[in-house]
Every structure is written in C-alpha cells, then in structure tokens.
Structure 1
Amino acid sequence: MTVNDGYFDFFQNWIHFYNKLQLNFPLIVIAEDDDVFLKLHQLNTQSVFTLVRSWRNTLRSAVVYGSKEFNELASGRPTYILTYLETGTNILYADTDSVWLHDPFPYFQGTFDMWMQVDGPGNLCTGLIAIKSNNESIKLMRLWEAALKKRLDIGQTVFNQVFTNSTIHLKPLDRNLFPSGNIEKVRLDARKLSRPFGISQQFPVEVMERRRKLVPVMLDRKDGKEAYLAADKLYIDEHLYRDGATSGSG
C-alpha cells in the first residue's frame, strides 16, 4: 500500500478496519513524502506494518483524481509491485480509499496468476490486485511500468491497454463482494435524492478552504449566468473566475 500526506486520513480509516480483521500477513506501507512518513511512524506504535520511504516526494494535491499530480503518484504502483514480485514474493496491492469488512484472502483461489476488481465490462480496476510472482505477472507489470514512463496517464487506463495483449491468467472478482471505485456514480446521482441528505467529494483541507471562499460568489450570481465549482476552481458562464473577474477557460 502506498500513502502520501493527502491520503493519510484515508489510511487511518483503512488501518482501523484492517486491524479489526486480525490478519496475520506482512503489511508493507510505502510513504510517498516526508510529512506522511513521520505521521505513519508515529501511528505505527504497535509495529502493525513495515514502513518504507519511497524515492519520491509527492504533493497533497495528488488526491484530485485525474490531475497531473494524481497520475504521477499512481505511476509508481507497477514499480513498487515489481520490487517484490522479482524477489519471488506474492503480493496483494490495495488502494487506501477502501474499507476491508472481511478477510479477502480466501477469494484468491484457483490456478490464476492475478485476481482483480472490475469497474465494468472490459475495464479492470487497479484498486485491488492480488498477484502471484511468476514470469507472466512480472512481464505484465514491466509493460505497465514502461507504458506509464512513456506516457503519463491514469494508471488504470494504461493498465487496461497493456493487459489487452497479455496472456496472463486473470480472475475477475465478484463486483458484489468487491465493489470498485465505480461507486462514484452514487455521488454523481446525489442530486436525485429527495431526502435532506447530500453526498460530496472529499478534498484536502486547503482545497476545501478555497471552495468555501468561492461558494458565496457562485451563489450570488444575479445575471443569469451558469456557475459551478470544479475542485477548487469556479467557472462562470464557462469562464474561470479569478478574484472578481473571469477569464477565458481555453
């Protein structure tokens, strides 16, 4: 598992539920920046996991899905996985923005090389990957790593592209038991709720602070122009708002 400072609160939640399962497996946590390394070290008083410091120093803004910083953070995934596969170690990689309610290991059975979550038809989810160390899995991870170095993009998108030509024996996991990040659709459908409840995306503290300052501006539009927030940026009539003025979004 990899963690940067922007995802530390996600990890606190994940490790809370992980500890409840009392699993007897080595857990390796890779810290992606100095700030989170210190926080993880202070959190790990019971030596629940082995803490490793990566060679990178990522930004908190990497929590914004699809951003350049997010893609750079996720691009290290195949490299970290290869570190262990190439020593003959089987691994289970998991994203921090998940919750383990039950032991997942009994589901990794059969003569397969890999087990993965699924977002939909033809779209494997890289949020949970169980991998046997063998020539086929190492070859696939090397192809994934090389493709991301050649063209930085969302890691899952690139993985699905390189997987198309792979001969690896993969077992898709039951989506009812292992729901993936496609549950984001629930958030997007929040406007359909008739009850006084809402669902919103979680942002870093500094992004939330900028959003709080922009919300009154967005709500105070009296000229009939459309206004909406995208992360920490306000767009009015499809133009980016900048301190009392708007500029062309192109």
Structure 2
Amino acid sequence: MDIHKLVFILLIVRLLLCCVDVALIRDHVKAQSIERRRSAYNIWTIHFVSPQLMYSMKNHSASGKEDIYSSGGNSLHHNTSQHEFDNWTILLTFNNEYFDFFQNWWWFFVRLDIPVKILVIAEDGDVFRKIMANYAEYAYVERSDLDIEEEMYFDTDARRKIAFSRISHILKYLENGINILYSDIDTVWLKNPFTYFTGSCDMWVQMEDETIYSTGFMAMLSNKKTFNFMQRWRQVLKYKLQDDRPVFNALLKYSHIRPCPLDENKFSSGPTYKRLTTSEREKAVVVHNTNFELAHVMKRERFKQWNLWNNESKAQDEDMEGLPREENVNDTRSEAAENLES
C-alpha cells in the first residue's frame, strides 16, 4: 500500500477517534451538570435536609458528638411529614439593602422546623456574595439579571423592576412542576404557614384588607390555570411597568383561577398587626411589615417595637459593607446551632 494512503487513513481514523472523545466528554460534562442541578435543587431523588438539621449536624460534628444519621437519633423535623413538602419551594428575592431583613427572616424560620426547599434570588452582586458565604449550604442561590443596590421605596422603578423579575422567576419554576411559596423579605414567620394551605384552591394569598389581595405572600400550585394567570400578569407589566398589585387584583376578577384568601389576622399586614390585641397576636402565623410610606430603617424599628427583630444578629445595626470575615461567618453558624439546641 502506498505510504501516503496509509498516512491519510491513519489521519482519518485519528480524526474520528477525536470526534468520539469530544462527544464522550461533552456527554459526561452534560451529565455532571444535570446531576449537580439535581443535587443542588432536590427536584428528583435527593432527600432534602432541612436548614435546621444541617445546623444541628454541623454542631454535632464540631463538638465531637455522634452524627445524627449514624446514631439513629430523631431529626429536628420529626413531627412533620417530608412528603407534604416534597414539591414546594420557598422563593425569596431581595438586594443588599435588605440583607439584614433576610437574616431576621432566617432567624425565625429555622425555629419552625419546616423541611422545605429554599430558593434565594440575589438582586445585586454584594448580596449574592454574602448569601454564598453564609447560606449557600442551606439554600439554593441564583443571581438575578438585575443589579439594583438602592433601597426599594414604594412607587419607584427599582421596586417595579424587582416585582416584574420576581414573576419571571416564579413562572420558571411553576413551568417545571414546582409549587412556589413567594414571600417578601420584610416578613416574620411565627408558625408554619403550609398547614393553612387547604381547600380546593390554586393559590393562597395574603390580604391587605377584606377585598384587596397582597402580592407579598402568595402560595401557588403548579398547574395550567396558575401558570396562565402568572403569564398574563407578567405580560401586562411588560407592556407597561407599573405597580404590580392593582394589576394582580384586576386580573383575578376575570380569571378562572381559584384564589383562597388567607385569614387577615393570622397573615397580618403591618396595619392589621398593629391593631391586634395581645391574644390575637399570639395566633399570628406570618407578620408582613407592609406600610408603603415606611423606609427600611423605620420598618426595622417597628419590628423591634413588636419584639419581632432578632437582637442576636451581629449585623442588624451595621451597614454590612463587603463580605463578612470568615471568623464572623463561622461564629454566626455556631451561634445559630447553639440557639437551636437551647
């Protein structure tokens, strides 16, 4: 055989082998990417470990105590069925200005012992880095396409943009068969809200008053009616950026969706909680610090007046500029673990 033909054939074979190698590498990388997404977000087969249990496991490991799983001990959510939360995800979205409110929300949330997935949407780079440094082990974190660092006053474009972006995030997960509980970050959860999502409803929504639905606390089932409703809501706001609440309420009147209003005293807005008696406040499930004229600092002071602010948080009265130091991160986690055990 001619030496030139032999070299040509060998080159062709080599080229084919390279193509096969590239295809195999591509498939392997794709498979790893899918597996990472499954593991991180717990959509398919990975059993979800609640943030509370992860805190406890870290504390046991650091103190040299026996591991919870290997010892056969009870998990922190022993009274709650995991199955009822398998298809629910809590969605939170905020920027760096409200990071302290997230810390406050988290402090109350971990004490409720709810084994549910948490998705945090970071609306600017600073808060994304802080969440990744402190909470990435306990929540799934996404970086928004937005970069809004200023305070989100009512009736500003910054707030409207975040509200519009929030709908897009909700739609993405509803489309993938995941039920979403969206909560504004200026809330405090005092009891497990999921036990109140009963009846033949597509959506459970907090009320601002007897006739107006709030868009700051909404639990949505993943079904065709809910998805179509959210799409229409998004389309109207895309056509004209405006306050999302009036549009939401107007669309509900002409929609086939079945909304269920949540008890106004149990799922209280700021003005509602303010007028509740002491005995009524003891029955509150979620307190939403709504008052469209209050700025960030004033909202924080109001939570303090109601004893709904975590006084143990190191960052509550600081500006929290830049990343927290690593020793502060570890201190915060160990303090949370100690608080949970006590």
Matched with 2:236 is 147
Q: Pick from 255, 269, 283: which aligns with 1:166? A: 255
Range moving further from structure 2, 157-166 or 105-114: 157-166
Larger Rg: 2
Matched with 1:50 is 140
Are residue 24 (structure 1) and residue 123 (structure 2) matched? Answer: no
Q: Secondary structure at the match of 2:190?
A: coil
Are residue 201 (structure 1) and residue 290 (structure 2) matched? Answer: no
Bigger strand fraction: 1
Q: Within 5 A, what are the aligned runs for 1:70-89?
A: 70-89=159-178
| Deviations, residues 152-181 of structure 1 (Å, cap 9, x unaligned) | 112212211222211111110000110125
Are residue 33 (structure 1) and residue 160 (structure 2) matched? Answer: no
Which is bigger in relative contact order (C-alpha 8 A, separation at least 6)? 2
AA matched with 1:180:
S
- Unaligned ranges ≥5, structure 1: 187-199, 206-250
Matched with 1:208 is none
Matched with 1:217 is none
Q: Within 5 A, what are the aligned runs for 1:123-138?
A: 123-138=212-227
Moved over 3 A (4+): 181-186, 200-205
AA matched with 2:296:
F
Q: Secondary structure at the match of 1:117?
A: strand
Shift of residue 66 of structure 1? 1.6
Evaluate the alpha carbon distance shift between residue 57 and residue 184 of structure 1 in structure 2; reply closer, same or farther with a 3 A threshold: farther
Equivalent residues of 1:59, 1:69 under 8 A apart: no
1-structure distance, mates of 2:273, 2:239: 29
Evaluate the alpha carbon distance shift between residue 133 and residue 27 of structure 1 in structure 2; reply closer, same or farther with a 3 A threshold: same
- Unaligned ranges ≥5, structure 2: 1-91, 276-292, 299-342
Shift of residue 59 of structure 1? 2.8
Evaluate the alpha carbon distance shift between residue 184 and residue 161 of structure 1 in structure 2; reply closer, same or farther with a 3 A threshold: farther
Evaluate the alpha carbon distance shift between residue 74 and residue 108 of structure 1 in structure 2; reply closer, same or farther with a 3 A threshold: same
What is the TM-score normalised by the length of structure 2?
A: 0.53
Shift of residue 24 of structure 1? 0.3
Shift of residue 115 of structure 1? 0.3
1-structure distance, mates of 2:206, 2:103: 22
Q: Within 5 A, what are the aligned runs for 1:5-24?
A: 5-24=96-115
Shift of residue 8 of structure 1? 1.0
Q: Pick from 113, 124, 131: which aligns with 2:202? A: 113
Bigger helix fraction: 2
AA matched with 2:171:
L
Aligned residues: 191
What is the TM-score normalised by the length of structure 1?
A: 0.71
Matched with 2:186 is 97
Provide the identity percentage. 38
2-structure distance, mates of 1:37, 1:121: 37
Q: What's the RMSD between the two structures over aligned residues?
A: 2.2
Equivalent residues of 1:61, 1:204 under 8 A apart: no
Shift of residue 184 of structure 1? 9.1
Matched with 1:223 is none
Range moving further from structure 2, 97-106 or 156-165: 156-165
